[in-house]
Amino acid sequence: MSRIDATFAALKDQNRKGFVAYIMAGDPDEARSLAVMKGLPAAGVDVIELGVPFTDPMADGPTIQLAGQRALEAGMTLEKTLAMARAFRAEDTTTPIVLMGYYNPIYSRGVDKFLVDAQEAGIDGLIVVDLPPEEDDELCLPAQAAGLNFIRLATPTTDAKRLPKVLTNTSGFVYYVSITGITGAAEANAAAVAPEVARIKASTDLPIIVGFGVRTPETAKAIAGIADGCVVGSAIVEQIASGKPVDEILSFVKSLSDGAHSA
């Protein structure tokens, strides 16, 4: 059982919803990014999504694009992202870490080497947004064989014909994208999302975690209430971009996690 599986099993036993937080590795620099990351579990974060900066982040809106640019300009790399995970793991051996990003940096490193290094760094799962199920042999299947969960995104346009393909070989949880478009573009609507979550739940026993458009404690509560939990990314990244002290950023994260956990 992976850390991700264990976390969601524990949440289910406690009848609690999960809260997942996204940050960009190295934004605005390694030290500050690591300080935020280390504080996330105490702020109520159940799973950490750690973004790997990339030069062409096609699924991301301006907020996360800019975060990636800041990280790249500060010298962040995939190697340093894994080092960040290792530094986090030196103090926290239980909170799951999911690397989220694009295939190019992994391909450039070499899949076999990447998987060995990721496992050694304490990575638990991968979300690679530009690898469709048709490319499972590239990374998904080798990752699962190495003990890493491969988490797939479902969207409002994932119809009944496509859904079984998306769910094949998915593990850990299903990330449901609540809106059509890029990250940070609009606010999620629980009433609109609920039937979609129910539709996916009818086809899988995996937890369904909803992201994109969750920006406030109220929305976190509403969205978590109709799923197994929610993800917040852009709203947290905006707090980091504002230059606020780390404790203020973590206080904001805590307000979101409290919202999700109160669902």
Positions marked catalytic: 49, 60
Give me the phi and psi of 38, to 5 degrees please.
-65, -25
What are 4's two structure tokens? 């991700």
Bridge-partner residues for 47, per DSSP? 20
Q: How far is CA 160 from CA 31, 123, 151, 200, 203, in A?
A: 45, 32, 19, 9, 10
Bridge-partner residues for 174, per DSSP? 152, 208
Q: How far apart are alpha carbons 38 and 22 in whole angstroms?
A: 13
| Spatial CA neighbour of 178 closest among 238, 218, 219, 143 | 219
What are 129's two structure tokens? 């947004």
Q: Are 207 and 200 in contact (CB under 8 A)?
A: no
Q: Which residue carries 């974060």 as its tokens?
A: 45
Q: How far apart are alpha carbons 59 and 103 in whole angstroms?
A: 13
Terminal Cα-to-Cα distance of the chain (whole angstroms): 26
